């Protein structure tokens, strides 16, 4: 019997075909999404860092993979269960985000999908070695507008206050109301891009990238630098706002909103980068001094031994075509499913301008010239429209009854309500314009001809000597969501049902003296809103309250 020599099967030579198949699947999913983001939120100043972060993260991922190959740290230990789990999470996030315009799900889905591919092909240890690239991509994801409003407001007010105080100390004629600065004859709105959470996220990403490239070994030093980026961001934002105020004061509003406005944005990041490097130098000096005091040598960066790249090492990067094809097919199917779930039915109630639909006289109420300036339903960005919520129609009027009681009315209508383009809640606008709120409450307001009361909100806003009671509701489609999360859930349910709903903000307010009872003011507003709905329903049913 002749013994046969058993020879090991040679490992396959490197082939880029499976990776090209995966790349084609990713391109089918994300090229349309990224084009829409470039024409949408990534094209605005507040989210302009998104594509930059994406480009830097992709470059870092390529460089890091090359480095791991050279060091022989790319392993072939597939982890199918976590890989499939991450891939499915990413696919589901993409389908929901793409079809329902949930931008943070649509853009953020790229991260678990890439992690799933790495886990399926190489395993947990290799995925762990690429953690920073995936973590860094989080900074490209557009945050929900409600989250930005909630977290950005204190930052904007703080930056406005510090800018006002510093410029006043320097002798400039400046005043402030909320996040609005008045310098000389000019008015400046401190917008999200100038002093908000997005710039903080961008600077935090910049600092983390700097720390990862410098490769500090001290955990304490890294944590300190990451935490101190928050005050660095605040300082850089304050410098930017003061520079814009001075440009506007000396050169006019056109200069402040033109090229020099963009230059001030670049100045923000130059100042921040300089402060990060200076702070890192200070921490390095403290570490060296501490080591000298303790009689130890200052820590030196660890030099990793590099391994020459050979064909055997490169072969570890080979992807099996039997894995690439099913993954690419799943990606293509997800694009098709997302397209099928996109809502197409438009539910638009309003057929004419609000000024024509809302009568100037109804019941015991008639319009009168307003002796008081109303609080805007949104913050103007200098172009005549709201930068965060482009309402399709806005109406502001003041009415008086036979007893001389006045109520101010504000209506704001939008044809389409999506996850990132929806009605602003009045609480945000009042606080941004310098008011303090108290006695906030959710109420059930009965309306004539309705079997059930509608969900409304009330609060009292104060600013210096002005005290204003406010009642409002938000209608989206056939519902009255109370709060930002409820609005998102209502829009999501309508979208999954194939509908794009319209929305309207209905706000009534009246000024009070200190001795006045706010309960009487709210009762007056409720009577006014009931009369208004009855009058509007005759010519435009369902505009304020669904019929």
Residues with catalytic roles: 194, 240
The answer to whether residues 132 and 91 touch, using CB atoms and an 8 Å cutoff, is no
Question: In this predicted structure, what is the pLDDT of residue 407?
Answer: 93
CA atoms within 13 A on the CB side of 459: 17
- Within 215-258, where are the H helices? 219-251, 253-257
Q: Which two tokens stand for residue 86?
A: 């991450």
Return the number of other C-beta atoms located less than 10 Å from residue 284's C-beta.
16
3-class SS of residue 342: coil
3-class SS of residue 375: coil
The answer to whether residues 455 and 442 touch, using CB atoms and an 8 Å cutoff, is yes
The answer to whether residues 17 and 97 touch, using CB atoms and an 8 Å cutoff, is no
Q: What is the pTM of this model?
A: 0.72
Residue whose C-alpha is closest to residue 125's, from 79, 172, 60: 79
Only one residue has tokens 């990534």, namely 42
Residue whose C-alpha is closest to residue 521's, from 532, 511, 534: 511
Q: Which residues pair with 279 in a beta bridge?
A: none
Return the number of other C-beta atoms located less than 10 Å from residue 258's C-beta.
13
Separation CA 224–CA 229 (nearest Å):
9
Element (H, E) at 507: strand 503-512
Cα dihedral 358, 359, 365, 370 sign: positive
Question: In this predicted structure, what is the pLDDT of residue 532?
Answer: 93
Exposure string for 405-426, b = 16+ CB within 10 A, e = fewer:
bbbbbbbbbbbbbbbbbbbbbb
Only one residue has tokens 């079809």, namely 99
Q: Which two tokens stand for residue 288?
A: 């060296």
DSSP 8-state symbol, 185? T
Question: In this predicted structure, what is the pLDDT of residue 102?
Answer: 86
Residue whose C-alpha is closest to residue 450's, from 341, 546, 338: 546
Strand 393-401 relative to strand 406-414, pairing: antiparallel
Query: What crossing angle do the helices spanning 197-214 and 49-70 adopt, rounded to 10°?
Result: 20
Residue whose C-alpha is closest to residue 75's, from 110, 121, 111: 121
Separation CA 81–CA 85 (nearest Å):
6
Q: Which two tokens stand for residue 547?
A: 């019929």
- From first to last of its 547 residues, what are the pLDDT tens digits of the chain? 454 454 444 444 445 677 788 888 899 999 999 998 888 878 776 677 778 788 888 888 888 888 877 777 777 788 889 999 999 999 999 999 998 888 889 999 999 999 999 898 888 888 888 888 888 888 888 877 666 666 667 777 788 888 889 988 988 888 887 777 888 887 776 654 444 555 666 666 767 776 666 666 566 766 777 777 778 777 777 887 888 888 888 877 666 565 555 555 556 666 666 777 777 777 777 766 665 555 555 555 545 444 444 544 445 555 566 778 888 889 999 999 998 888 887 777 777 888 889 999 998 999 988 777 777 776 444 333 344 456 888 899 999 999 989 999 999 998 887 766 667 788 877 887 778 888 889 999 988 777 788 889 999 999 888 899 999 999 988 888 887 778 888 888 888 888 888 888 999 999 988 777 888 899 999 999 999 999 998 888 888 888 7
The answer to whether residues 459 and 470 touch, using CB atoms and an 8 Å cutoff, is yes
Separation CA 542–CA 546 (nearest Å):
4
Question: In this predicted structure, what is the pLDDT of residue 371?
Answer: 73
Return the number of other C-beta atoms located less than 10 Å from residue 340's C-beta.
10
The answer to whether residues 129 and 73 touch, using CB atoms and an 8 Å cutoff, is yes
105-109 long-range contacts, CB within 8 A, separation 24+: 106/33, 107/33, 107/37, 107/50, 107/140, 107/141, 107/142, 108/138, 108/141
Nearest 5°: the CA angle 191, 192, 197 is 155
Question: In this predicted structure, what is the pLDDT of residue 408?
Answer: 93
Residue whose C-alpha is closest to residue 234's, from 287, 182, 310, 166: 166
Separation CA 207–CA 279 (nearest Å):
11
């Amino acid at each position: 019997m002749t013994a046969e020599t058993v020879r090991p099967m040679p490992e396959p030579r490197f082939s880029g075909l499976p990776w090209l198949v995966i790349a084609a699947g990713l391109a089918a999913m994300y090229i349309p999404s990224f084009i829409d983001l470039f024409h949408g939120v990534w094209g605005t100043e507040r989210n302009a860092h998104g594509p930059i972060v994406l480009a830097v993260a992709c470059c870092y991922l390529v460089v890091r993979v090359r480095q791991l190959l050279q060091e022989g740290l790319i392993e072939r230990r597939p982890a199918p269960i976590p890989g499939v789990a991450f891939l499915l999470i990413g696919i589901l996030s993409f389908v929901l985000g793409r079809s329902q315009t949930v931008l943070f799900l649509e853009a953020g889905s790229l991260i678990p999908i890439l992690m799933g591919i790495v886990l399926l092909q190489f395993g947990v240890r290799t995925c762990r070695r690429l953690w920073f690239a995936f973590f860094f991509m989080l900074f490209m994801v557009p945050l929900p507008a409600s989250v930005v409003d909630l977290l950005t407001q204190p930052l904007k007010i703080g930056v406005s206050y510090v800018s006002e105080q510093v410029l006043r100390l320097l002798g400039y004629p400046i005043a402030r109301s909320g996040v609005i600065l008045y310098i000389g004859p000019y008015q400046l709105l401190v917008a999200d891009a100038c002093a908000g959470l997005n710039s903080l996220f961008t600077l935090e990403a910049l600092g983390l990238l700097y720390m990862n490239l410098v490769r500090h070994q001290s955990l304490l030093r890294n944590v300190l630098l990451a935490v101190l980026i928050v005050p660095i961001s605040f300082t850089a934002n304050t410098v930017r706002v003061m520079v814009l105020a001075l440009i506007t004061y000396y050169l006019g509003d056109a200069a402040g909103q033109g090229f020099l406005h963009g230059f001030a944005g670049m100045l923000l990041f130059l100042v921040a980068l300089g402060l990060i490097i200076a702070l890192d130098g200070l921490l390095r000096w403290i570490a060296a001094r501490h080591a000298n005091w303790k009689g130890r040598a200052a820590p030196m960066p660890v030099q990793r031994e590099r391994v020459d790249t050979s064909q055997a090492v490169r072969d570890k990067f080979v992807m099996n075509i039997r894995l690439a094809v099913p993954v690419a097919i799943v990606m293509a199917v997800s694009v098709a499913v997302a397209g099928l779930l996109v809502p197409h039915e438009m539910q638009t109630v309003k057929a004419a301008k609000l000024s024509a639909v809302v009568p100037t006289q109804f019941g015991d109420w008639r319009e009168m010239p307003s002796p008081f300036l109303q609080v805007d339903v949104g913050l103007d960005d200098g172009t005549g429209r709201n930068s965060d919520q482009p309402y399709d129609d806005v109406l502001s009027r003041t009415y008086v009854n036979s007893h001389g009681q006045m109520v101010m009315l504000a209506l704001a209508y939008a044809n389409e309500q999506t996850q990132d383009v929806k009605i602003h809640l009045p609480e945000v606008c009042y606080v941004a314009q310098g008011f303090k709120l108290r006695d906030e409450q959710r109420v059930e307001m009965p309306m004539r001809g309705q079997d059930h009361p509608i969900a409304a909100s009330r609060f009292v806003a104060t600013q210096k000597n002005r005290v204003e009671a406010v009642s409002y509701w938000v209608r989206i489609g056939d519902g009255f969501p109370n709060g930002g999360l409820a609005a998102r859930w209502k829009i999501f349910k309508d979208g999954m049902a194939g509908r794009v709903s319209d929305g309207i903000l209905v706000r009534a307010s009246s000024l009070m003296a200190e001795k006045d009872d706010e309960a009487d003011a709210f009762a007056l507003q409720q009577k006014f809103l009931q009369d208004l709905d009855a009058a509007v329903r005759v010519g435009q049913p369902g505009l304020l309250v669904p019929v």
